Amino acid sequence: MEAIILSGGLGTRLKSVIDDMPKPMAPIGNKPFLEYILDFLMHQGVTRVILATGYKREKIENYFGTFYGKLSLDYSVETEPLGTGGAIKQAFLKVDGERAFVLNGDTFFDVHLGELLKTHVSMKADITLALKPMKEFNRYGAVIIEKDWVTEFKEKEQADFGKINGGIYIVEKSVFEKLHMPYKFSFETDLLVRNMDKLKIGSLTMDKYFIDIGIPEDYLRAQRDLFHE
């Protein structure tokens, strides 16, 4: 089982609470946020991780090296910003299998990866999203589904209740061959939203713990929730 982690975020909105470092390296307790994600993957049977790095990449490479516990680590380096889609497409050049999990390096979603994979395979989907039910939100766009197939991605707006993209996917390598995406693009907007008619996009909804450290208040909440030592 292989996974790609998007790890090149600048952490612009976190400048007030963290030093000049990639957002996934923001410290939670005495270790970087990325370490919690790697622990999560390792405990669920993932054996190889490709870290898609860019901004201050040496801080990640120097800290983790090429192994973390039972995980083999490899790096896909952006020499210029490629967008989330360009970073994933480049990282897939290092994927050995036909598919991989893809995770955001600034979110933690405590889902069961085996269930997500089972759903993906049974639906014969091109991409499968892990969805999080949420109340009273405006930072995220809602995902509309019908019989677990994604039918619409809504813009960010105030919502009383909905399902949001939890930032964990299973993606078939063949997607990039099928769509001929450019060098730089957004995975969410350019690939998912604009190619819904060409892709089979499945979903699995899981009401599990979710945290996005993109803003200071949620970064501080992650400190309380995740650090127990």
Q: Tokens 């395979």 identify what position?
A: 121
Q: How confident is the model at residue 127 (pLDDT cuts 50, 70, 90)?
A: very high
Residue 229: the pLDDT is 45
- pTM of the full predicted structure? 0.93
Residue 5 has pLDDT above 80, yes or no: yes
In the chain the domains, ranked by start, together with CATH numbers, are 2-226 (3.90.550.10)
33-43 vs 57-64: helix crossing angle, rounded to 10: 50
Q: How confident is the model at residue 158 (pLDDT cuts 50, 70, 90)?
A: confident
Question: Average pLDDT, stretch 142-168?
Answer: 89
Summarize pLDDT for 36-65 with one digit per residue, the tens: 999 999 999 999 999 999 888 899 999 999
Name the average pLDDT for the chain. Answer: 90
Among 20-24, 36-40, 77-81, 114-118, whose mean pLDDT is lowest?
Answer: 20-24
| Integer Cα distance of 50 and 28 in angstroms | 22
Residue 10 has pLDDT above 90, yes or no: no
**Which residues neighbour 165 within 8 Å (Cβ) at sequence distance 6 or greater?**
129, 131, 132, 140, 141, 143, 153, 188
Residue 227 has pLDDT above 70, yes or no: no
Residue 128 has pLDDT above 80, yes or no: yes
User: How many other CB atoms are there within 10 angstroms of residue 159's CB atom?
Assistant: 17
**Residue 35 host element (H or E):** helix 33-43
3-state SS class at 180: coil
